[in-house]
Every structure is written in structure tokens, then in C-alpha cells.
Amino acid sequence: MASPATSRKSGEPSRGDIAQHLLRWYDANHRELPWRVPPRQLAAGARPNPYHVWLSEIMLQQTTVEAVKPYFRKFLEQWPDVESLADAETDDVMKAWAGLGYYSRARNLKACADLVAAGGGSFPDTEKALLSLPGIGPYTAAAIASIAFGRPAAVMDGNVERVMARLYAIATPLPDAKAEIRPLLETLVPSERPGDFAQAMMDLGATICTPRRPRCMLCPLREDCLALTRGDPELLPVRAPKLEKPLRRGAAFVVLSDGAILLRKRPDKGLLGGMSEVPTTGWTARNDGQTSADAAPFAANWKKTGSISHVFTHFTLELTVFRTEIQRFSVPEGHFWAPLTGLHGEALPTVMKKAIEAAIPGATRKPPSPRKRVS
DNA sequence: CAGCCGTGGGG
DNA sequence: TCCCCAAGGCT
């Protein structure tokens, strides 16, 4: 079998050495992150706060570290523990999550906090129990179990998949290759410092064993890596071919009245579930007239103010944006008037902020934080 | 179980 | 500019 440990002569790295190489590198190149406890403090007996670990791992699902940092800080400031998050209104959680994407995560976050708080406020400390909570799947359960509770779980995310595919020269395309990778990964997980091992694997994938142009000369596993031995690490992992993104079009309608904008709440499930939006037409693949002012929710003096483009996971959206100024009227169910001065605090997804900006430049910008007075 | 679900940064 | 794809989970 393609094992870099067993395929080598005696005296060369063993499986245990791979974890050792990695942890040594991790200690020497430790990244300070807001949710992380440095190895030095861990060695001194400090334990990570499970609430912090859980919150960060949910935010980090399919999301980059840099995007998560400000949200993590904001959430901790607003809801410092799981009980305070359980006491929060779901709509306030959606507002705080706005811009981070994958909004079902925010809804599940709140649901999970409710369950944990109702159970006494302590997170479960086993993979199996964690897995039963909303928003926690195989990756997140393993990550929390190992990082927060020191359990030797196999933490497998996109980074780990890539590192492992190269380390063992696995040519099976992802995601099928996961079935081969998991048992190999399990043999690597050390009983000591499993949480640091998991984070080290992910750090390695994020900074050294990158998707393109991996920095193999800096890699702590370069002596262990089968793909590097064969000379083609950048060709792995193999991925199933991506399918083309269709284009959908529609129109968005910015209705202004006396310093406020008309918004409505989207259904809890589905695309942008539970978030707010300006009234729009349907978003259709065909060009069936949905991009003209004729499709507006009511007759008015509509001015076309621009158009925006936004890329979702599985389609690209082009919205033509119209604007009008009217007398305030009583709004239908689900609609509300939002003062323009408070727009930055609304639960507006990025695509809606773009649409509003096209009609009212600067409307969704966060106002500058008040300067400290100089005496 | 395959399709659905956002967004931003890097190459 | 365009393409890649992230510390995945749900249904």
C-alpha cells in the first residue's frame, strides 16, 4: 500500500514521526488566532473555552480565517457565553451574522445554543454527542472533541484532505477519496495533543500545502510526502469536474419614504433564509420581462439606478435596480420600513447591500465609530 | 445522496 | 479578469 511510513527503509520516518514533525512545526510557527489557546498555555494546563471553540468552528465552515475574525470578536462581545446567546433573539443573531454567508449556520447556531443552555450550559465532550446537535456535522464534532476536550478524533476538512492526498499520493478524485483518507488519517492522530495535531494539519494546508503552488521546501513533512517524492504534489488532489454556473436575472426595487427604505423578510428556509431584502422579482434563468419596471410591486415613478452582479454557490445573479420615492403607506405582512441611518445593523446579505448601494450610494456603510474626545 | 446553501481573497 | 475554493451541514 502507498504508505510513506511502511514503504520506506528502516531508519526513515514512521507514522509516529509524521505527527511529531507536524507538532514541532506547529509549535515553531504558531499562528495567533482569537479563538486559539497557544501551545505554551495548553502545556501549562490551560483549557480552551468550548463555547469559543464551537463558535469559531461553526463560523469557519467553508469560510476563511480572515473573514471570520471580526465576526468572532463581535459575537463574543455581544454574547460572551452560550447562555447569553440562548437568551438572544434569533433575528439579532441573523443581523450579527449578515455578510458571513451560509445563513442556515446562524439559525442552527442559535438552536444549538438553546439546546446546550437548556441542558445546563456545558457542551457535550464526545464526538457522538456533539454530532447530534444542530449545525454540527462530522468535521465540527471531531474538531470540538479534539480541540476543546483533547479527544483523539480524526478531523478531516478540505485542508486535511489535500494534505493527505499528497502525503499518500492518492489519485482517487475527491470527494470519493475521503473513504481512503479517513482510515489513514486515523492512524496518524496522536493520543497526545490531538487538538494541536488537527489544527497543525489545517494550518499546514492553509499556509504550506496550498491548493496551487505548494511551498514544499518549507514543509515539515517533505521527507514523508509521497507526492513530493514522485514530483507532482501540485497535481493532487484530483477533483471531480465542476459544473457550470447558470445566470439568473431579476429586478430589485428600492422604495424610499421619509428617510426609510422598504424591506421584507425572506422565508426561514432556502436561499438567504431568514434574511432581509428589498422587494425583488423572481430570479429566473429566462429573460421573461422580470428585469423591467413593469414587474415592480406597484405603479410609481421608477428610475433605473444601475445593475449589480453577484455570484452565489450555484448560480450568478444579475439584478437591475430601480428606485422611487413615495408617500409612506401601510405595508403588507412581512414588510417593514427601515431607517436609512440604521441599515448597517439590518440582516442584509451582501447581495442586498449591493443592490441598495446601487440606488443609494453609502447607505449601507457602517458609520465611523465615535472618536474618543480629546480633552 | 446529490443538490442546495454565500462570500471574499488569492493566484 | 476570471477562476479557484475555503476549518461543511442539511435534506
pLDDT in tens, A264-310: 999 999 999 999 999 999 998 877 777 788 889 999 999 999 999 99
Q: What percent of chain A has pLDDT over 90?
A: 81
- Given CATH 1.10.340.30, say whether it is the number of domain A15-235: yes
Question: Smallest Cα–C1' distance to nucleotide B10: which residue has it?
Answer: A212
- The confidence score (pLDDT) of residue A373 equals 41
- CATH topology for A247-359 is Nucleoside Triphosphate Pyrophosphohydrolase (3.90.79)
Q: In whole angstroms, how large is the CA radius of gyration of chain A?
A: 25
pLDDT, average across residues A111-134: 97
CB-based contacts of A121: which residues, under 8 Å, 6+ apart?
A: A81, A82, A83
Contact between A360 and A348 under an 8 Å Cβ cutoff? The reply is no
At A157-191, the pLDDT tens digits run 999 999 999 999 999 999 889 999 999 999 999 99
pLDDT at A7 over 80: no
Contact A115, A108 (CB under 8 A): no
A349 in contact with nucleic chain B (CB within 7 A): yes
Is the confidence at residue A372, as pLDDT, over 80?
Answer: no
Q: Could you tell me the distance in Å between the CA of residue A134 and the C1' of nucleotide C10?
A: 9
Question: What are all long-range contacts of A182-185, with beta carbons under 8 Å and residues at least 24 apart?
Answer: A182/A154, A182/A156, A184/A3, A185/A154, A185/A156, A185/A160
Cβ of A64 near strand B (under 7 Å)? The reply is: yes
Cβ–Cβ under 8 Å, residues A347 and A275: yes
User: How is residue A287 written as a grid cell?
Assistant: 429573460
Residue A9 is predicted with a pLDDT of 43
Q: What nine digits make up the cell of A47?
A: 483549557
What's the pLDDT score for residue A242? 81
> Measured CA to C1', what is the nucleotide nearest A33?
C7
Question: Where on strand B do bases come within 7 A of a protein Cβ?
Answer: 3-11
At CA A259, angle to CA A257 and CA A263, rounded to 5? Answer: 65
Model confidence pLDDT, tens digit, residues A62-85: 999 999 999 999 999 999 999 999
Instruction: Please pick, among A57, A127, A277, A346, the residue that the annotation labels catalytic.
Output: A57
Domain extents in chain A: 15-235, 247-359
| pLDDT for A5 beyond 60 | no
Average pLDDT over residues A367-375: 53
CB-facing half-sphere around the CA of A373: CA atoms within 13 A? 1
Count of alpha carbons within 13 angstroms of residue A247, beta-carbon side: 7
Residue A369: per-residue pLDDT? 62
Residues A310-336: pLDDT tens digits? Answer: 999 999 999 999 999 999 888 888 899
- What's the first-to-final CA gap in chain A, in angstroms? 73
| Percent of residues in chain A assigned helix, strand, coil, to nearest 5 | 40, 15, 45
The reply to whether the CB atom of residue A199 sits less than 7 A from any atom in nucleic acid chain C is yes
Asked whether strand C has any atom less than 7 Å from the CB of A315, the reply is no
Confidence of residue A192 (pLDDT cuts 50, 70, 90): very high
A351 touches strand B (CB under 7 A): yes
Give the whole-angstrom CA distance, residue A126 versus residue A117: 17
pLDDT of residue A375 exceeding 50: no
Query: What are A29-49's pLDDT values in tens digits?
Result: 988 999 998 888 988 989 999
Residue nearest to nucleotide C3 (CA to C1'): A242
Q: What is the dihedral of CA A286, A288, A293, A295, to 10 degrees?
A: -100
At residue A157, what is the residue type? D
* A320 contact to strand C (CB, 7 A limit): no
Cis before residue A38, ω within 30 degrees of 0? no
CA of A342 to C1' of B9 (A): 28
In contact, A349 and A99? CB cutoff 8 Å? yes
Mean pLDDT of chain A: 91
- The confidence score (pLDDT) of residue A370 equals 60
- Does A57 participate in catalysis according to the annotation? yes
Decide: CB of A158 under 7 A of nucleic strand C. Answer: yes
Task: Give the residue from A353, A349, A340 showing the smallest Cα distance to A256.
Answer: A340
Range with lowest mean pLDDT among A9-18, A143-152, A203-212, A300-309: A9-18
Q: Show which positions of strand C are touched by protein (CB under 7 A).
A: 4-10
d(CA A339, CA A364) in angstroms, rounded, equals 11
